[in-house]
Amino acid sequence: MKLNQPHHIAPDDADARRAAPVRVCYPIDTLPAVDLTAPRSARTNATKVAEVLVPPRDARCIDVPAGHFLRISSVEGCQVGDLNLWKTDNLAERFFSGKTRALYGTHVSTGDQLFSCLPYLRSLATITDDSLDWYGYDNDGGSVHDVIGTRCDPYTGRLLSGGDYHYCCHSNLTRAVADHFDLPLDQAELHVHDVLNVFMLTGFTRDTQQYFMKASPVRPGDYLEMQANTDITAGLSSCPGGNCGDEHSSDTASCYPLLMEVFAPKDAYLQTIQPAQPTAYDRSHGR
């Protein structure tokens, strides 16, 4: 956080230095274009092959084969979810929220790809539909589906409040990974990573640039849908913050389940799918 009263006097050319032009760090016009025509057509006659209801203050995992669609829906009440993604056969390859943010900005929506970590940097999934795409950015600079938050966790809770709360998204996802992949809890925890905050309304305060949240505009029936570009496993926590309009990391907020559904397109379409490949970089790093 920047000082209200800096310790050092600004140089004479401070204004000129501040006036340097803004450049987008990672222009995305060289990314391969995402054409949603075929996926959306395939989605219209896809059939549901799996579903799991994520209980409040808990998490579940579900497998999504390449070409299949994952729909995350609000049911019963306003609820946000913390999403993790892994390549099903290699948990070391997981969603890279930081680079996804660097490419697409603070909040994602239809057409954005969800990339995996280095040294893979593969598009794990592409967002194909978002019932909250109408929200855009509000007057506070807030929006939904951020890739700036990390996930609520008991360690930060203890750091800030001194207490222990066991149903933060980090712990919920840890239990879900342990159950889904049959791993001991301490190993499962290491696979939990920074999330896509589904439905959560967040931004940065104008004055201090601090991460803020406000009540999510999500309502039952709203959904975020994505197509898997390789075989992935999704882990979703129904955040103990509920709609995250007030507080998290406690049992205070009203919480509701979230629904994950997997839809399989017709075989004829699936046979045309070319699973996403990891980066072609040879990892020689100049040696």
**Nearest distance in Å: CB 97, Zn ion:** 14
Q: Quick check: 244 binds Zn ion (CB under 5 A)?
A: no
**Closest among 126, 128, 130, 165 to 145, alpha carbons compared:** 130
**Nearest distance in Å: CB 248, Zn ion:** 5
**Nearest distance in Å: CB 174, Zn ion:** 13
Classify the phi-psi angles of 254: left when phi > 0, otherwise alpha if psi is within -120 to 50, otherwise beta: beta
- Nearer to Zn ion by Cβ, of 114 and 152: the residue is 152
Size of the site for Zn ion (CB under 5 A): 4
Q: Quick check: 152 binds Zn ion (CB under 5 A)?
A: yes
- Nearer to Zn ion by Cβ, of 125 and 168: the residue is 168
Q: Quick check: 192 binds Zn ion (CB under 5 A)?
A: no
- Nearer to Zn ion by Cβ, of 82 and 146: the residue is 82
Please choose, out of 23-31, 145-153, 207-215, 254-262, the segment that lies near Zn ion by the rule CB under 5 A.
145-153
- Nearer to Zn ion by Cβ, of 260 and 264: the residue is 260
Q: Quick check: 239 binds Zn ion (CB under 5 A)?
A: yes
| Furthest C-alpha separation in the chain | 67
Q: Quick check: 169 binds Zn ion (CB under 5 A)?
A: yes
- Nearer to Zn ion by Cβ, of 88 and 237: the residue is 237
Please choose, out of 11-19, 42-50, 147-155, 218-226, the segment that lies near Zn ion by the rule CB under 5 A.
147-155
Please choose, out of 98-106, 169-177, 184-192, 226-234, the segment that lies near Zn ion by the rule CB under 5 A.
169-177
- Nearer to Zn ion by Cβ, of 169 and 226: the residue is 169
Q: Quick check: 253 binds Zn ion (CB under 5 A)?
A: no
* Binding pattern for the stretch 67-86 against Zn ion, x by CB under 5 A and - elsewhere: ---------------x----
Would you mind telling me the total number of residues written for the chain in this entry? 287
**Closest among 234, 230, 233 to 270, alpha carbons compared:** 230
Q: Quick check: 200 binds Zn ion (CB under 5 A)?
A: no
- Nearer to Zn ion by Cβ, of 253 and 262: the residue is 253
User: Which residue ranges make up the site for Zn ion (CB under 5 A)?
Assistant: 82, 152, 169, 239
